[in-house]
Amino acid sequence: MRVDGSPGALVDAADRGLAYAHGVFETIRVWRGKPVYLEEHLLRLVRGCDRLGIRTDGLVERLRRDLDAELGSAGADAVAKIVVTAGPGARGYRYDPAGQLTRIVSILPYVADVDAATSGIAVSCCATRLGLNPALAGIKHLARIEQVLGAGEILPGCVEGLMFDIEDYVVEGTRSNVFAVIEDELTTPRLDRAGVEGIMRERIILQEGATVRRITRAELLGATELLVCNSVFGILAVTRLHVGSDVVTLPFGARTRDIASRIGFPQSA
């Protein structure tokens, strides 16, 4: 782990990332020693900083150096995590953009917790609702309490939990985005009020085309294919969806298989 460019694992206890969640993060798959979709991740990180008022002069160059230094000692298959915060500060919400920010770069083991491409996965529905928050929607910021609560509600045997907003539209998984084939159309939730705009989601929309709109719970349950995706585990077909005590069975559909094969993401180690 590297903090502000030097080997280390400690940060100032008054860091604004800890005090106020004032920062962003990226979680990047490392495959054959290289970070996958690195440019997209860095671009999203900079955009997130811009929305949170964090100055990014020289940031990307520094992060590249941090990553290079850390990757040297990493295995071929791993996960890189980048955290950028508004840095240490005095008490109080008011932020001085001239202040020093904090960079934390670490390489973590890639845990293949899902038997990906072959069999499909089981997913449950979380009880915790995502709030409606247009000012922060889309950003991968550090305020992730809802996802923590959601992750604690995932049923045993399920590898992901779907989260709905307070108006009962499906938004995303706790750590993934979701696509559904609804009336033959590849569809994914609009993320203008809640949710994280995932890199893999963006790739799929750009490459495959998709209808981006609100999706009701009933529409989700009537989908003919369902997949979750993120830029660590790639694309996973959902073949069992737990809704309360009911289980909906879905096929490992042709559409999902085609998308996964065209995206060509390293599905398993």
Q: Which residues bind its own copies (CB under 8 A)?
A: 1, 3, 8-22, 25, 27, 52-53, 79, 81, 83, 85-86, 91-95, 104, 106, 108, 128-129, 131-136, 141-152, 154, 166, 174-175
Find all residues with CB under 8 Å of 183, minimum gap 6, and list them: none
Nearest to 256 by CA among 209, 201, 173, 186: 186
Question: Residue 54 or 182: which CB sits closer to its own copies?
Answer: 54
Question: Residue 133 or 211: which CB sits closer to its own copies?
Answer: 133
How far apart are CB 217 and its own copies at their closest, in Å? 17
How far apart are CB 128 and its own copies at their closest, in Å? 5
Question: Residue 52 or 237: which CB sits closer to its own copies?
Answer: 52
DSSP state of 14: T
Using CA atoms, how far apart are residues 67 and 61, in angstroms rounded to an integer?
A: 10
How far apart are CB 171 and its own copies at their closest, in Å? 13
How far apart are CB 58 and its own copies at their closest, in Å? 21
Question: Residue 191 or 210: which CB sits closer to its own copies?
Answer: 191
* Strand ranges (E), 174-263: 177-182, 185-188, 211-212, 215-216, 225-230, 234-243, 246-249
Distances (CA, A) of 122 to 165, 237, 239: 21, 9, 6
